[in-house]
Structure 1
């Protein structure tokens, strides 16, 4: 099969993806070990090929256009497919008499219980030479000699001083409820939320979804507010109210019918899931194997 001449070079796609994700040319250049001029040259060549502007150049940097953001998302998916095809090594068993390499993983409790742990058997089969020690915790690990964590799965902005981070996936937010909520009389219109019990999660306000839905509403500050996402989801499943849920955490409940999604409207959260580690960690090969496997699981779940 002849490869189309319209497909940009892989390095150009990497530059585009990094420039959009990093929000400009300077940080993309640092991440890719290129000069800022080289990054700019790749982007200009791509703009010339597409005959469109991808970044708005301003005095303090370059701002990606919506077209650039859409292209970067597609490029990211394509690069991950190529990475899994050509980089992921074949599973290997530990050498006779050699113990598996221990790898301590810090992860938020809800993400551990609802996303990571149900998938871990596949990791064990693919990497019998790595022994994961999963430690659910809401505390932000310091990666020092005291906590002895090798890698963390964090939900946040994506940049932590002195640490390497790799974006795992975005998070989609939408309202969910038990099909038994109010004896099955679920709200039909988004405006009906004004008469419903809205379950509150302290670090994830409803306002972001209200704005996307065009609702002139504010989140009430009365009633019980949850500090644990697991508890919030379980309260919704018990019919106590409607929760603004993260897709990755309720997918299994939606599939089983334990929860129902109320409307198609959703928003992508400003925060996302990241794989985070210290670049000088001596178990970097095992961290890299875990990182690649996590990305393959994200692709698997769609």
Structure 2
């Protein structure tokens, strides 16, 4: 169990030293425990480099199994809380603010036994950094583990502030391609370029944002053109701070997925929340 705890902490925190701090042991003790585990399993869990450690493919697969086992152990110890249960949810910041928070009162209204704990997740990581019973992830779905369901499909297109569109005379796809394009690793321009019949590479200049809310705020402030899904940008579109430059859109390469460990899916509060999300975003 000590070795499994060391492995899970090192994988979650990204290194042996932070895992040692969390477990109140030395980094060498963490390293020793993980090497023992690797010997028992006869497989390498971490790749050691001069700059640190990272999970191998086998390590990523094993991490999912370890987390499911820990979740099952935690679940078996519940039941003495006076009927109250804690539900830990991780969600990307813009999704949480724009799409989840307005809906949460309806979920909690008739579920007074649930103590909700919200964490902000990182869209760029396949695994959440905070322990979560349910995680909402932005993904193409190919690297997800456990139980997962796509919440909705969406389409992407270029958006900009009305003043920016007027100042630069943006009307067509070709006009967009010649404008200042705001960038994000979460939503590349390639899918829309292809739908528009433009043989162009990903833009190499322009501000970069790793949060979609900041990307949309930057576009509404007149910094350039943002690529975004219509559903996520609804608040900006409804207020008129952003408008579509053209009605040409493309299927979004990624979608929001609600996920949980396979063992947690049997918990009533987890199953209830996941079903509620799927029903709320369907259609």
TM-score by length of 1: 0.61
CA–CA distance in structure 1, aligned partners of residues 280 and 240 of structure 2: 23
Q: How does 1:172-187 map to 2 (within 5 A)?
A: 172-181=155-164, 183=166, 185-187=168-170
Identify if the C-alpha distance between structure 1 residues 135 and 283 changes in structure 2 by more than 3 Å, giving closer, same or farther: farther
CA contact (8 A) 1:237 1:258 kept: yes
Deviations 1:13-46 (A, max 9, x none): xxxxxxxxxxxxxxxxxxxxxxxxxxxxxxxxxx
Equivalent residue in structure 2 for 1:204, among 187, 191, 200: 187
CA–CA distance in structure 2, aligned partners of residues 251 and 137 of structure 1: 21
Equivalent residue in structure 2 for 1:133, among 109, 117, 138: 117
Equivalent residue in structure 2 for 1:148, among 128, 131, 149: 131
CA–CA distance in structure 2, aligned partners of residues 129 and 277 of structure 1: 20
Identify if the C-alpha distance between structure 1 residues 227 and 282 changes in structure 2 by more than 3 Å, giving closer, same or farther: closer
The reply on whether 1:102 has 2:86 as its aligned counterpart is: yes
CA contact (8 A) 2:180 2:206 kept: no
Unaligned runs of 5+ in 2: 1-80
Equivalent residue in structure 2 for 1:229, among 199, 203, 212: 212
Unaligned runs of 5+ in 1: 1-96
| Aligned twin of 2:246 | 263
The reply on whether 1:171 has 2:154 as its aligned counterpart is: yes
State the superposition RMSD in angstroms. Answer: 2.4
- In the TM superposition, residue 183 of structure 1 has moved relative to its aligned partner by 4.9
Deviant stretches of 4+, over 3 Å = 97-100, 139-143, 159-162, 182-186
Equivalent residue in structure 1 for 2:141, among 158, 165, 170: 158
Where 1:199 maps in the other structure, the secondary structure is coil
Identify if the C-alpha distance between structure 1 residues 182 and 253 changes in structure 2 by more than 3 Å, giving closer, same or farther: closer
- In the TM superposition, residue 136 of structure 1 has moved relative to its aligned partner by 0.8
CA contact (8 A) 1:150 1:283 kept: no
- In the TM superposition, residue 177 of structure 1 has moved relative to its aligned partner by 0.8
CA contact (8 A) 1:141 1:149 kept: no
Identify if the C-alpha distance between structure 1 residues 292 and 184 changes in structure 2 by more than 3 Å, giving closer, same or farther: farther
CA–CA distance in structure 1, aligned partners of residues 181 and 265 of structure 2: 46
TM-score by length of 2: 0.64
CA–CA distance in structure 2, aligned partners of residues 228 and 161 of structure 1: 21
